[in-house]
Structure 1
């Protein structure tokens, strides 16, 4: 028995480190550093993520999101996705004593045993496939282990949660893509997709599915959150929802503030987003120069005095760790202990809850849950056991697994 919540959390993270579902460090490095991976061992306060804070947060495995904008033409999205995949491989190669590429559940377990952080790839949006089975299979051979069916915009074959309905969930092409993901052992990720798409994919998938970074709709009726009837279907499917920390999804008050901010930006004639898709360095171009160019564009947009005055009059509401824990507990109540995990979405949003400001914060949430009576088994299921099970099950059900099989260094 443990004497304190901290003792319990220490035991949990020692036996079952966090296996997080979604971190956007690759796009943050593209935008802020021109894809330079330097400095992450010393600490990067301009980011949510660096190696010391991953260690402090008890992270043992990470799905690195290789996100690209869903507004890119699909052939361009394929190129950009390959650049993002390259960034993860370069990141791991630069810090081999801390990070290791992992393709399978067994690889994750070997990395944990060696004290290194297993690094897996997750594609965020079906536009990165360009409707090509060959592209999908090529990604699988590079080690991609999940594909989110959409991002913020529909594809021609699947509806997004934040776009107008297009095909009513999935069309025949979409169901064929789900079948190919199952066949090759790549997880179907249902974060970002419409509820109609979630239901269609759960009906079509022969393997457990994932929600890599979502919250629950019962506590905040946000389109990116998951409704209770879908959580029940997820339980029956054997999949996992990795609860996210994104304030807009956790709190209706923050979501309302964000809508008001967007309306004010529109009224002022400002772009809906303070940044545009960052370009990658060209051959022979210094990463620092590309990063400087991107930063200059962000500063011009973000430093508008009129918008600053509005935000001073309308400060952003804060989200607490307790509110995040409420979403985690609700998912457990509906889907069950064996179907929950964590997907922080660090470096994918500009602001995180108080106490969860960066990747060092996972123990804060675990202490909150321990204080609510969660057992060691409960917490270990949440931090890593459930996601590892889903990964292994997808491997076992794959009829043509395509991930690399070369020994890991």
Structure 2
């Protein structure tokens, strides 16, 4: 059974630490080739994320650096890894016994307000774009800065934002609404002529955070042929963990400032592993979120949106903690086992674990007016 994960932040390790996906060792990471194979994971969308404050003014530079980090892994390990640009590529890689490597761009700020740059990223292999990260930028509102009065918001998409959606549709690039504001979500749904994804979001009715989708959104996403891929971050899937995490915020902010000081003094971008290390120390102080919380979210999305419109978007290597029982990609089979206990059929699991992504991907590319 082919399992596909729509979001992992592992490229930071390639670019900043010279870490190798095949040779490892896994270390503090959550996914490498060995754990992926142990967990039946056959394909991964690696998130290309230029942190917007650290790389301001150099978004394209950082984006290309991260893309290169992934492509170098494929170049060095052609027998184990294959860059995939289509659903057919994923299926072929799976049949060949090679791990399918895919690229997703996280944050529309990386295109620097340029459709030309968007097209260049597509030519390099980017097959989805998360319209915003936690930052509102020049053409789309994020849900991550809703309470920041200094942010100039647009009420969703700007006119240029709609041009971006149209160009993504033309190219056959999947539109990803994770991190988008509610207004952005609804406007994207209205103007996209191809199905859209939420590549790493969960259910707001179970855990009330803006990063998650409401039941109304889930149904609308499904009615348009899209899907919601459930995020594994405990703060998005468990109310108690979310509340405890928020209580740590003042102390955590102070620890981040202390850890950043040596980099600030040298006027250098703070590597993700520095801030992630701080968050991991604070997350370790909390009891892990119950495994059942993750299964509850998957189950809820499947019931509200329908079994054809749910998947997994783990956020591996981008979050400081995982729910109890999930330590790495090797533990992914536990999800199928838990869903079988809830009377999910093998056909259901095949859709949920990879089939739904393949369908949406194929429909987006079929709607394109330019071949990849």
Q: Aligned partners of 1:382 and 1:185: how far apart in 2?
A: 22
* Distance in 2 between residues matched to 1:204 and 1:274, nearest whole Å: 43
Q: Paired residue for 1:152?
A: 134
Question: 1:213 aligns to what SS in structure 2?
Answer: coil
Aligned to 1:210: 197
1:388 maps onto 2:358 in alignment:
yes
Instruction: Measure the CA separation in 2 of the matches of 1:263 and 1:231.
Output: 33
Aligned to 2:15: 30
Q: Report Cα offsets for 1:271-310 as digits up to 9, x if no partner.
A: 369569999xxxxxxxxxx9xx9699669x949xxx98xx
Give 1:70 shift: 2.0
Against the structure 1 CA distance between its residues 138 and 235, is the aligned structure 2 distance closer, same or farther, given a 3 Å change threshold? same
Q: Trace 1:21-170 onto structure 2 (pairs within 5 A).
A: 21-31=6-16, 33=17, 36-38=18-20, 40-41=22-23, 43-72=25-54, 75-164=57-146, 166-170=153-157
- 1:398 is matched with which residue? 368
Which whole-Å CA distance do the structure 2 matches of 1:123 and 1:275 have between them? 25
CA distance in 1 between counterparts of 2:258 and 2:104 reads 24
Q: TM-score, normalised by structure 2?
A: 0.91
The normalised TM-score by structure 1 is 0.83
Aligned 1:260-271 pairs, distance under 5 A: 260-266=247-253, 269-271=254-256
Distance 2:363 2:54 in 1: 33
Q: Which of residues 17, 20, 41 in structure 1 aligns to 2:5? A: 20
* Aligned counterparts of 2:273 and 2:193: Cα–Cα separation in 1: 48
Partners of 1:262 and 1:272 in 2: CA distance:
12
Preserved contact between residue 175 and residue 197 of structure 2 (Cα < 8 Å): yes
C-alpha contact (below 8 Å) 2:156/2:181 kept by paired residues: yes
Identify which of 344, 353, 357 aligns with 2:323.
353
Aligned equivalents of 1:317 and 1:367: distance in 2? 23
For 1:316, which of 272, 277, 286 is the aligned residue?
286
Distance 2:336 2:201 in 1: 18
Q: Which runs of 5+ in 2 are unaligned?
A: 147-151
Q: Compute the displacement of 1:252 (Å).
A: 1.2
CA–CA distance in 2 between the matches of 1:378 and 1:27? 33
Aligned residues: 363
The alpha-carbon deviation at position 66 of structure 1 amounts to 0.9
| Higher Cα Rg, which structure | 1
**What is the Cα-based RMSD across aligned positions, in Å?**
2.7
8 A contact 1:74–1:127 mirrored in 2: no
Shift of 1:95: 1.9
Structure 1 residue corresponding to 2:244, chosen from 257, 274, 279: 257
Distance 1:57 1:180, change over 3 A: same
Is contact 2:129-2:176 (8 Å) kept? yes
Contact 2:11 2:48 in 1 (8 A): yes
Taking the aligned partners of 1:346 and 1:385, their CA distance within structure 2 comes to 20
How far the C-alpha of 1:317 sits from its partner, in A, is: 2.9
**Displacement, 1:92?**
1.3
User: Structure 1 171/294 Cα, relative in aligned 2: closer, same or farther at 3 Å?
Assistant: closer
Aligned residue for 2:149? none
For the residues of structure 1 that align with 2:271 and 2:366, how far apart are their CA atoms? 44
Q: Distance in 1 between matches of 2:33 and 2:63?
A: 23
Q: Match of 1:4?
A: none
Give the match for residue 231 of structure 1. Answer: 218
Displacement of 1:30 in angstroms is 2.9
Matched, 1:366 2:325: no
Q: How does 1:186-197 map to 2 (within 5 A)?
A: 186-197=173-184
**How far, CA to CA, are the matches of 2:131 and 2:154 in structure 1?**
13
Alpha-carbon separation, structure 1, partners of 2:262 and 2:366: 38
What SS is found at the alignment partner of 2:36? helix
> Does 1 or 2 have the higher relative contact order (CA < 8 Å, sep 6+)?
1
Native 8 Å contact 2:15 2:65 kept in 1:
no
Which segment drifts farther, 164-173 or 226-235? Answer: 164-173
Change (3 A) 1:295 1:129: closer
- Whether contact under 8 Å (2:206, 2:297) holds in the other structure is yes
